């Protein structure tokens, strides 16, 4: 084994969406960082659908951006269709989604990494961790080089013992066209990690020249497109539409007739797949009464004819794929360019990591992304940036950055992983966030910019702009509280339009904005000053005023839970001799080793009484 | 200090007793004492000194009871927080009323064992004593366990689950619509959701009503007889008592000039309070009697206002009607054996009116029926289980859930955003979770995935 002559602060294994954010965060915080990838041409590759965002995922992207991450900026520069989802619902559940030009996305991210100070990139497959006395010291690669690092972040994606299935044919691979990482799992198992198996899948890529788009419904993006990043001014790239097609009874018949050739139904696949992203055969079997299933045909880029048919992932044999796709109206003579496939891969039970994403078993080793059982680029990137930040903080001897469930979806994501574990690939939903009304896309900067600045990821210029916005919001809140609409000084028709004709004493602008049908749009008709404000300031003020009651209710809920959340449980806490716990609860606590009383209370099977006993014992320990 | 909120609970066992103690702990204890306690002949309350005086509702100015009160300022108290102890007359109703008053002043109901827990968390109890506390909390869970076993045969879990189901299913429909905008999920059927949640609401009301009735059946109610002098109050009392079999017990009046008797009305224990007549007078002794009567009025569950049916309704009758405004009232027109002269003013036309003759017992059965039906909707039904909901903690949880469901029905009806409606339903489930165990986000997702074909 050759020991490389340079010592790194942080070694990131894997250059997907988690690895890129981790490496950038580490390097930007001043750490000597090495990014290792099996294939340097596949950096930030979108292995599945060419899109970023969606419900709860868009929220994550905004949070990553507020912390000083790259994902939002990257999609803003390479996106070819932007849409805001749920525009008819309230601000908390509105979310951004964008189609990416897959190649541009990857190339831009690579360029950013290459231009990043403190960051080196090398191609290599990591085969083992180098651990001594429970502390990771480096990694070994296939070609016999040992890289030494103070911290290591594993972001292995689907590469750990990756196994690709197309029908009853299977072969080893980390992704179609890439080698797997076959040795690293054994190294993890040797360290005591519980390694499990998950499964995911992706549809075929279709040749757009062989699709009759005239038969399909067209779907355009928003005009003007709204960017993800708080730092992006305007989206300038050319935009493309998507198309919508539907399966039919014939499609379903073809699938049903060939289920015996499916590796999933034939028992060849042992890994657990996601219920929210089922293959088309799964949908047909589980929902036999549904007459058709919708698919969005998403362009993979500006300079390619490849089309991604969302919702049509499958592991059926290739001949069935041909017949199945061609049974869809508009796709009668479609050519498959890349076959659909399912992939199985290893993950490590996330209850073996802490809220900082450091593993409990090996010091200075961090896990992020699919290795923790999650799915999705955004979920991966969110963990990546936190792992990068916390590895960097570790090298500086500082406490980790841990986000609360009331602060960020990232906090919800990590807390869910460490307290609940996961049996299927974990995806974020807004319904997972009990403080959903506070965790909005629009206020991600107000929630997290400050933290990004404190750790050193948000630059001075961006921070100054943020502070200005925050001040303007505060000033405007004050102004509309003080400023009043005086009936005698207001046009009669305006008063009548809003049912204010009987008003005698005047009404503050704040009270006006609280009314159902009254927005800044209406206020600007009588108040010149509000028109001078930037749109995002008006938006914030309007939301904070209109939803004040609900926002306050959620803040109160956070306040009530904060006592449990802030009570740390010592790492070496002795559950074995603690009187009063049932054996089931004791076993759970020993297995999960929660970091706080709040986390303990969320572990399934841990009763409120058990939490009380813990609280008392912890106080007692502290008193001693 | 460790806690920001103020807790309160009844510290003495529930039931008849000489003295009932309400204990309050937390930063708000002192403030509550100064608002609701009027000490006889002294200024402020010094720490660790007993004071005699009255518990007064600062909202209405009405006196609830006479009491002994002590304030123990932190850290020299059981919990090391500011503690207020109110010793009032025993008997469930009085103590409960005092507790409710304290809760209305900003305290919240303490969890089981919470005073002891605070004592520990604030460092008041040492390690050795902590073991005892653990035992105590464990014994709570064992109580809960035996209760759970008891309820296996009972209905509570089933009933609560029925309530929960309506909410849970509706929430899953709403969450699916929120979280999967690209999965061609249709807007949920508002009427279906509304009727399902309304069903849960009605089930809760049913349970709460059962609780109230159950409490009334177990602990009885108090009925106060009021009226101007010489309208026949005492003869009404005697008539109600005349049926000797009905007399359960005779308790000496806790206050000198009010006579308390307990009778059984159709199985319902009823405490009858006969009071001094109310009228304008210069007589000091009579004034004192009237003052006591006025104090007792708000404590009664029901007030029988006796009016002489053989005379016109006059200003003195009006004086009494004013004194009982806000109370549950039955208007008793006495002396039906004489010529009826009285003409009731229009504003009293909504009141329940019963004509009787206290002298010969005419109309007494009707009056008994009227008293009974004021508390028990359809009569005590054979086989009906009034023990489904008996725990105050469960009642409080259901009442909380009811508030959230009401908020949902209001907001959903007005078309506020679905995510706000979802918060109401989640909070309702959270409150029910205090009885049945938590509903996790995962179980909501399970429901969504089993109902809808999700996946792009």
B191: which 2 tokens? 């009427």
CB-based contact B441 A85, cutoff 8 Å: no
Looking at residue B135, what is its pLDDT?
A: 47
Among B113, B142, B171, identify where a domain stops: B142
Considering chain B, what is the average pLDDT of its residues? 77
Output the CA torsion B223→B226→B229→B235 (10° steps): -30
Three-point CA angle A532, A534, A539, nearest 5°:
115
Whether residue B20 lies inside any domain: the answer is yes
Most confident of A206-210, A582-586, B298-302, B344-348: A206-210
Residue B385 has pLDDT above 70, yes or no: no
Whole-number pLDDT of residue B388: 57
Chain B residue with CA closest to A430: the answer is B179
Tell me the CATH class for A2-199+345-455: alpha beta
- Structural domain of B397: 154-212+391-451
**pLDDT, tens digit (0-9, with 9 covering 90-100), for B18-53:** 678 899 999 999 999 999 998 887 667 889 998 988
Contacts of B134 in chain A (CB under 8 A): 579-580, 613, 616-617
Closest chain B residue by Cα to residue A313: B456
Cross-chain residue pair B453–A619, CB shorter than 8 Å: no
CB-CB under 8 Å, B120 with A619: yes
pLDDT value of residue B3:
63
The answer to whether A16 touches A44, Cβ cutoff 8 Å, is: yes
In chain B, the residue whose alpha carbon lies closest to the alpha carbon of A601 is B438
Cβ distance B137 to A286 less than 8 Å, yes or no, reads no
CA A436 to chain centre: 15
Confidence of residue B218 (pLDDT cuts 50, 70, 90): low
Q: How far B140 CA lies from chain A's nearest CA (Å)?
A: 8
CATH for A473-552 (1.10.10.1800, 3.40.50.300, 3.40.50.150, 1.20.1050.10): 1.10.10.1800
What pLDDT is stored for residue B240 in this prediction?
Answer: 82
Same domain, B242 and B188: no
| Cβ of residue A620 closer than 8 Å to a chain B Cβ | yes
Query: Is the residue at B12 inside a domain?
Result: yes
ipTM surpasses 0.95: no
How much is the pLDDT for B246? 33
CA distance readout (Å), B267 to A8, A104, B80, B221: 84, 83, 46, 12
CB contact under 8 A, A430 and B137: no
Across A121-135, B147-161, B417-431, least confident range: B147-161
Task: Report the residue of chain A nearest B434, measured CA to CA.
Answer: A608
Give B143's pLDDT tier (boundaries 50, 70, 90). very low
Task: Supply the CATH number for residue B227's domain.
Answer: 3.40.50.300
pLDDT tens for each residue of A421-447: 998 999 999 999 999 999 999 999 999
Cβ <8 Å between B423 and A429: no
Among A25-39, B48-62, B111-125, B131-145, the range scoring the smallest mean pLDDT is B131-145
Mean pLDDT score, B376-405: 69
Which pLDDT score, from 0 to 100, does residue B389 have? Answer: 67
pLDDT band at B254 (very low <50, low <70, confident <90, very high): very low
B276, B371: one domain: yes
Residue B149 lies in a domain: no
Check pLDDT > 50 for residue B140: no
Among B116, B142, B168, the domain-final residue is B142
pLDDT higher than 70, residue A130: yes
Residue B257: its pLDDT value, please?
Answer: 52
- CATH tag for A567-623 (out of 1.20.1440.120, 2.30.40.10, 3.30.1300.10, 1.10.150.570): 1.10.150.570
What pLDDT score does B162 carry?
85
Chain B residues in contact with A285 (beta carbon < 8 A): none
Answer yes or no: do B164 and B268 share one domain.
Answer: no
For chain A, domain boundaries: 2-199+345-455, 205-342, 473-552, 567-623
Partners of B147 on chain A (C-beta within 8 Å) are: none
Instruction: Determine the pLDDT at residue B139.
Output: 41
Is there a contact between B117 and A278 if contact means CB atoms under 8 Å apart?
no
Query: Are B134 and B255 contained in the same domain?
Result: no
Indicate whether B136 and B181 sit together in one domain.
Answer: no
Q: What span, in angstroms and rounded, lies between the C-alpha atoms of B48 and B78?
A: 12
Mean pLDDT within A176-194: 96
Minimal Cα–Cα distance from B427 to chain A, Å?
10
The tally of domains found in chain B comes to 3
Average pLDDT (A504-514) is 89
Token code pair at residue A372: 């923790």
Mean pLDDT of B143-164: 58
Nearest to B455 among A55, A277, A615 (CB): A277
Instruction: Classify domain A205-342 by CATH number.
Output: 2.40.30.260
CB contact under 8 A, A619 and B181: no
Torsion of CA B108, B112, B115, B119, to 10 degrees: -130
Mean pLDDT for B91-100 is 78
The per-residue pLDDT for B14 is: 53
pLDDT for A548 beyond 80: yes
Sequence-distant (6+) residues with CB within 8 A of A483 are A508, A509, A527
Is it the case that residue A95 has pLDDT exceeding 70?
yes
Task: Answer whether residue B452 shows pLDDT above 60.
Answer: yes
Q: Are A154 and A367 in contact (CB under 8 A)?
A: yes
- Say if residue B285 is in the same domain as residue B398: no
Cβ separation B178–A294 shorter than 8 A: no
Q: Does residue B247 share a domain with residue B163?
A: no
Residue with tokens 């009021």: B226
A86 at interface of B, judged by CB pairs closer than 8 A? yes
In B, which residues are within 8 Å of A432 by CB distance?
441, 445
B274 — pLDDT class (breaks 50, 70, 90): confident
A579 in contact with B, Cβ within 8 Å: yes
CATH number at residue B196: 1.20.120.430
- Residue B148 falls within a domain, yes or no? no
Q: Measured between CB atoms, does A26 come within 8 Å of chain B?
A: no
> What CATH number is attached to the domain comprising B25?
3.30.1360.120
Q: Which H or E run includes A66? A: helix A57-67
Where is average pLDDT lowest: A349-353, B50-54, B71-75, B91-95? Answer: B91-95
* Cβ <8 Å between A436 and B182: no
pLDDT at B272: 84
pLDDT at B150 over 50: no
Higher pLDDT, A86 or B122: A86
Highest mean pLDDT pick, A293-302, B233-242, B259-268: A293-302
Nearest to B98 by CA among B112, B82, B87, B113: B87
According to DSSP, the residues that pair with B52 across neighbouring strands are B68
List, for residues A370-408, the tens digit of each pLDDT value.
999 999 999 999 999 999 999 999 999 999 999 999 999
Q: Which of B159 and B450 is assigned the larger pLDDT?
A: B159
Tokens linked to A293: 């299933």
Task: Compare A592 and A77 and report the one with higher pLDDT.
Answer: A77
- B212 CB burial (10 A radius; 0-12, 13-18, 19+): middle
Could you give the maximum distance between any two Cα atoms of chain A, in Å?
A: 87
| Chain A residue with minimum CA distance to B442 | A432
In chain A, the percentage of residues whose pLDDT exceeds 70 is 100
pLDDT given at position B152:
38
Question: Of B110, B142, B174, which residue constitutes the final position of a domain?
Answer: B142
């Amino acid at each position: 084994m050759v020991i490389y002559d340079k010592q790194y602060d942080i070694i990131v294994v894997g250059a997907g969406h988690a690895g890129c954010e981790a490496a950038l965060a580490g390097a930007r915080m001043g750490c000597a960082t090495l990014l290792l990838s099996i294939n340097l041409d596949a950096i930030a590759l979108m292995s599945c659908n060419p899109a970023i965002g969606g419900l709860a995922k868009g929220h994550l992207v905004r949070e990553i951006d507020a912390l000083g991450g790259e994902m939002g900026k990257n999609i803003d520069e390479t996106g070819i269709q932007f849409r805001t989802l749920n525009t008819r619902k309230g601000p908390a559940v509105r979310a951004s989604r964008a189609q990416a030009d897959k190649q541009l996305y990857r190339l831009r991210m690579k360029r950013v990494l290459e231009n990043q100070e403190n960051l080196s990139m090398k191609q290599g497959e990591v085969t083992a961790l180098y651990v001594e006395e429970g502390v990771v010291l480096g990694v070994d690669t296939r070609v016999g080089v040992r890289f030494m690092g103070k911290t290591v972040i594993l972001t292995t994606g689907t590469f750990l013992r990756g196994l690709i299935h197309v029908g009853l044919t299977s072969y080893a691979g980390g992704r179609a066209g890439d080698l797997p990482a076959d040795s690293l799992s054994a190294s993890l198992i040797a360290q005591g990690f519980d390694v499990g198996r998950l499964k995911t899948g992706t549809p075929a890529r279709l040749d757009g020249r062989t699709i009759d788009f005239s038969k399909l419904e067209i779907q355009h993006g928003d005009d003007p497109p709204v960017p993800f990043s708080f730092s992006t001014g305007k989206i300038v790239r050319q935009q493309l539409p998507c198309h919508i097609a539907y399966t039919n009874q014939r499609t379903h018949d073809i699938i049903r007739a060939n289920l015996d050739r499916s590796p999933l139904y034939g028992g060849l696949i042992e890994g657990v797949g996601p219920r929210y992203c089922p293959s088309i055969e799964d949908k047909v079997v589980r929902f036999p009464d549904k007459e058709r299933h919708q698919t969005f045909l998403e362009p993979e880029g500006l300079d390619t004819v490849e089309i991604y048919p969302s919702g049509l992932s499958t592991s059926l044999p290739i001949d069935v794929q041909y017949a199945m796709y061609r049974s869809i109206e508009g796709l009668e003579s479609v050519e498959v360019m890349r076959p659909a496939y399912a992939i199985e891969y290893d993950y490590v039970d996330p209850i073996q990591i802490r809220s900082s994403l450091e593993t409990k078993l090996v010091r200075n080793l961090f896990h992020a992304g699919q290795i923790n059982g999650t799915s999705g680029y955004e979920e991966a990137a969110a963990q990546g940036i936190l792992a990068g930040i916390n590895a960097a903080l570790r090298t500086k001897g500082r406490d980790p950055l841990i986000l609360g469930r009331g602060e960020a979806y990232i906090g919800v994501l990590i807390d869910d992983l460490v307290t609940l574990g996961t049996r299927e690939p974990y995806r974020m939903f807004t319904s997972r966030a009990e403080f959903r009304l506070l965790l909005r896309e629009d206020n991600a900067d107000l929630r997290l910019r400050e933290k990004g600045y404190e750790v050193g990821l948000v630059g001075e210029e961006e921070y100054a702009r943020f502070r200005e916005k925050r001040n303007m919001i505060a000033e405007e809140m004050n102004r509309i509280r003080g400023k009043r609409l005086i009936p005698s000084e207001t046009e009669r028709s305006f008063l009548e339009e809003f049912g204010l004709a009987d008003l005698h004493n005047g009404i503050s602008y704040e009270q006006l904005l609280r009314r159902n049908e009254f927005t800044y749009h209406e206020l600007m008709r009588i108040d010149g000053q509000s028109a001078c404000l930037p749109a995002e300031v008006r938006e914030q003020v309007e939301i904070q005023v209109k939803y004040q009651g609900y926002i306050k209710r959620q803040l109160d809920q956070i306040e009530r839970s904060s006592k449990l959340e802030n009570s740390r449980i010592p790492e070496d806490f002795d559950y074995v001799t603690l009187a009063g716990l049932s054996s089931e609860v004791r076993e759970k606590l020993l297995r999960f080793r929660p970091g706080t009383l709040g986390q303990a209370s969320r572990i399934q099977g841990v009763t409120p009484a058990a939490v009380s006993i813990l609280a008392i014992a912890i106080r007692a320990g502290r008193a001693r | 200090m460790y806690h920001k909120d103020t807790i309160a609970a009844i510290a003495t066992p529930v039931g008849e007793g000489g003295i009932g103690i309400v204990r309050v702990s937390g930063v708000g204890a002192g403030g509550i004492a100064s608002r609701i306690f009027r000490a006889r002949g002294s200024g402020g309350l010094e720490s660790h000194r007993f004071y005699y005086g009255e518990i007064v509702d600062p909202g209405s100015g009405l006196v609830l009871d006479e009491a002994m009160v002590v304030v123990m300022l932190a850290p020299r108290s059981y919990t090391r927080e500011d503690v207020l102890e109110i010793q009032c007359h025993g008997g469930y109703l009085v103590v409960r009323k005092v507790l409710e008053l304290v809760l209305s002043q900003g305290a919240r109901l303490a969890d089981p064992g919470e005073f002891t827990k605070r004592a520990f968390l604030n460092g008041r109890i040492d390690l050795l004593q902590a073991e005892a506390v653990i035992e105590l909390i464990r014994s709570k869970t064992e109580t809960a366990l035996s209760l759970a076993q008891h309820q296996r045969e009972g209905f509570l879990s089933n009933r609560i689950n029925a309530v929960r189901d309506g909410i849970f299913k509706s929430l899953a429909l709403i969450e699916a619509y929120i979280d999967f905008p690209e999965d061609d999920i249709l807007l949920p059927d508002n009427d279906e959701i509304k009727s399902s949640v309304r069903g849960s609401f009605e089930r809760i009301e049913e349970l709460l009503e059962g609780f109230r009735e159950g409490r009334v059946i177990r602990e009885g109610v108090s009925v106060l007889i009021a009226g101007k002098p010489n309208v026949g109050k005492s003869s009404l009392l005697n008539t109600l008592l005349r049926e000797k079999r009905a007399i359960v017990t005779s308790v000496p009046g806790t206050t000198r000039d009010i006579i308390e008797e307990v009778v059984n009305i159709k199985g319902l224990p009823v405490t009858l309070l006969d009071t001094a007549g109310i009228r304008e007078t210069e007589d000091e002794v009579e004034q004192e009697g009237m003052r006591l009567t006025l104090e007792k009025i708000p404590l009664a569950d029901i007030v029988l206002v006796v009016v002489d049916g053989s005379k016109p309704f006059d200003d003195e009758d009006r004086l009494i009607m004013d004194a009982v405004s806000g109370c549950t009232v039955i208007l008793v027109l006495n002396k039906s054996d004489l010529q009826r002269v009285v003409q009731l003013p229009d504003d009293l036309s909504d009141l329940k009116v019963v004509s009787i003759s206290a002298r010969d017992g005419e109309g007494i059965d009707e009056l008994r029926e009227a008293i009974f039906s004021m508390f028990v909707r359809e009569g005590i039904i054979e086989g009906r289980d009034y023990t489904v909901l008996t725990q105050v903690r469960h009642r409080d949880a259901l009442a909380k859930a009811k508030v959230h469901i009401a908020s949902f029905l209001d907001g959903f009806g007005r078309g506020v955003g679905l995510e706000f409606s979802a918060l109401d339903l989640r909070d309702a489930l959270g409150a029910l979770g205090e009885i049945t165990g938590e509903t996790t986000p995962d179980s909501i997702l399970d429901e969504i995935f089993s109902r809808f074909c999700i996946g792009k």
